[in-house]
Structure 1
């Protein structure tokens, strides 16, 4: 996704678009919890199997739409106008996109020895650990301790992810605000928002 966003989005708006892209995970959890609980209680194919059918079919439709509408670069896109391509390419002209491509060697050894790299790995592992722990145990807690019915359980279980979605979404806008107003450097902005 970062490569795709780097080819389409000007640097001044990348945090915002990255946040919109990745906040889709939380939005998907909200929708799946809420609709999944309804499908479990009232769905076809015996209730809970309908969740898997609907999610699978939705993912397949998303794949078809993605393949039809998305290209790696504006220059490769077949369904946008010439004016739109020129506009996007003009916005990207000042960033790292130049017409001459050069082959770069990946510095694997330096990456393996890099402490900032390990900080990113630890940050992602701990974030995902918390995310999946909540994802797994909130519905169990709502059922076993609070004794909520399945539909109410799904709605209440989705509430933390609504907050998570809003936080990620707003964080991207705020990061671009900090960066564009030169309140913080790009590196410090990214470090701050990754820490949060």
Structure 2
């Protein structure tokens, strides 16, 4: 999606557009946790196998629509208006970056770039926390809270989805909030760092608080919801810090564009 937004999102609209798409998987979590629990309890073919059949079928249908409706660039889209295409391409200065010349990828410059390493570290930290909670919250509710409270599997699914309601909302909010901050108070670079720091530090704090209220389901669910929800504000931080540059690198590796070293944003954090 970063590569897609690199070709579709005008710089002034990039944060909001990207955070809308980032919130999609989180809305999916809100729906999939209760639905998976219902399928495990009442589904066909023994219950839990039906989860894979249902979601796999939905994925196939989604893929068909994606292939038919999604296009790599505005120039490739058969139904876009000429005014919209010209607006997007002018805002991205795409005429200055389009070329068929093939050049070597500057791996040394990439691997020695401080912004690249900074993004690698922050992506590792946020993804590790996100996927750990995504896979372990239902297990935690069953094996820790469920031991004393006998939480049914359907109720477990509902409880597990609550944090992702807050995550979806915070992700949607992070885009306009980041744009407002960088338009009125702080520079883009400081805004991105601030969003990341607030999101990750607050997430860690509220997750830690769960350990002090382990016997209270309402308190644990509340702290989990706030912890996961605050993590959504990274969508206004590093998640949109490099979409155009990232897509440029990906296309360059495929040999479709000029050497990335010619890109003026490569050796410094993106100002998008």
Offset from partner CA, 1:74-106 (integer Å, 9 cap, x none): 2211233xxx23224224413332266244653
Query: Larger relative CO (CA 8 A, sep 6+): 1 or 2?
Result: 1
Per the alignment, residue 40 of structure 2 pairs with 40
Cα deviation, residue 174, structure 1: 1.5
CA distance in 1, matches of 2:70, 2:170: 27
Cα deviation, residue 66, structure 1: 0.4
TM-score by length of 2: 0.65
Per the alignment, residue 142 of structure 2 pairs with 143
Matched, 1:86 2:101: no
Per the alignment, residue 184 of structure 1 pairs with 186
- Match of 2:49, SS state, is helix
Cα deviation, residue 134, structure 1: 1.1
CA distance in 1, matches of 2:9, 2:94: 11
RMSD over aligned CA atoms reads 2.0
Unaligned runs of 5+ in 1: none
User: Which residue of 159, 163, 168 maps to 1:165?
Assistant: 168
CA distance in 2, matches of 1:63, 1:194: 32
Unaligned runs of 5+ in 2: 200-272
Cα deviation, residue 177, structure 1: 2.7
Cα deviation, residue 143, structure 1: 1.2
User: Any conservation in 2 of the 1:14–1:176 contact (CA below 8 Å)?
Assistant: no
Query: Would the alpha carbon gap of residues 168 and 188 (structure 1) be closer, same or farther in structure 2, given more than 3 Å must change?
Result: same
Per the alignment, residue 49 of structure 2 pairs with 49
Paired residues for 1:124-135 under 5 Å: 124-135=123-134
CA distance in 2, matches of 1:85, 1:4: 19
- Match of 2:17, SS state, is helix
Moved more, 92-101 or 120-129: 92-101
Offset from partner CA, 1:148-195 (integer Å, 9 cap, x none): 10000001011112112211221122223334x253333333333344
TM-score by length of 1: 0.87
Per the alignment, residue 15 of structure 1 pairs with 15
